[in-house]
Amino acid sequence: MPVAYSYIRMSRPEQLRGDSLRRQLEAARKWAVGRGIELDEGLRDIGVSAYRGKNRTEGALGAFLSMVEDGRVARGSYLVMESLDRLSREAVVEALPRFMDIVNAGVTIVTLIDGQEYSKARLIDQGQPGEGTVDRLGPIGGGDLDDQCDAPGRPQPTEAGLAEALQQGGER
């Protein structure tokens, strides 16, 4: 039976004092409830950087990737995260193979901040420029959303976007 795996990552443990954990968990829970899908909240990399792939080699993401590779994650399952920079902050040539390993195993990657769902079928069906091609993958290797959102005095820019994406059922 497909499961939604919520992946939560923040680079520094100090970010637990901010809003990052609550924001990421709440968004994943709303998405799962809206879909009627069981949510596994066990994938957390707290204080684990994705800049050089430490989350992939030593963190919970690495354990998830092993489960995907071994077939312990059912096809049709979901990896739900706030944005693609949770998955990786490495260069695209390093990050893209992990992304494709997940998708090719039949797991859909969901990014809540923009409501995107990256499945193999969607990436094949929408292979026109701007529709399912690499230019749609957003901030792999981009700015760290936590640094933006948890900085003192900075607004929480994701709430409206998450609410809109959730109301649209995660599809755009």
Choice among 11, 77, 83, 88 that is catalytic: 11
CA 62 – CA 53 distance, rounded (Å): 9
Determine the 3-state secondary structure of 142 from DSSP. Answer: coil
88 carries an active-site annotation: no
Q: Enumerate residues 6+ apart whose C-beta is below 8 A from 90.
A: 50, 51, 52, 53, 140, 141
Which DSSP string do the residues of 40-84 spell out, in sequence order?
A: EEEEEEET---SSSHHHHTSHHHHHHHHHHTT-S-TT-EEEESSH
Active site residues: 11
